[in-house]
Amino acid sequence: MTQQKKTPMLLSWHEEFEQQKEIIDEQHRAILASINSIHYLFLKGEDNNLIKHLMMLYSQLQIHFKTELLILGQHESPLINEYEQQAKDFLDGLLDICEVKNLDHQTQELFEQFKNWWQNHLALHQQITPYLFKWDGDFCRVVA
């Protein structure tokens, strides 16, 4: 029986990335899965809908950034401005790449941006994680 060659993942999830906050960890996993799916489609030559997939990722990132900003804001974190700027810069950069008509010339830059963002986001998490643990509210409450 021959082994199939595995498609390389752009980003891998590791236990040490966990923030011990389920909502944040689930969002991080979903974002990495989307990035890896975009990378996979590109490697397989199925990149005709790449812009559509990038825009779906953009929406996921917006939700994630808003979630973390909400938590940081509730605790008056001194890091909120730095976090907000990093989020804005990354989203603006992603939009800039999506606006290019011929994405073929931008894909390596795009995948490098994903790697850099993830490393920077994890580094920032080393500073913001204490604020995540202070938060004990619910995102959705059902009023009876």
In this prediction, residue 141 carries a pLDDT of 37
Residue-wise pLDDT for 82-121, tens only, equals: 899 989 999 998 888 777 655 666 777 888 889 998 898 8
Render each residue's pLDDT in the chain as its tens digit; 144 residues: 556 666 678 888 888 788 777 888 999 999 999 999 989 888 888 777 788 888 899 999 999 999 999 988 888 888 899 899 989 999 998 888 777 655 666 777 888 889 998 898 888 888 887 766 654 544 433 343
**pTM of the predicted model as reported, rounded to 2 decimal places:** 0.79
CA distances from 61 to 6, 65, 91 (A): 27, 6, 8
* Nearest Cα residue to 42 out of 140, 136, 114, 130: 114
In this prediction, residue 31 carries a pLDDT of 94
In this prediction, residue 2 carries a pLDDT of 54
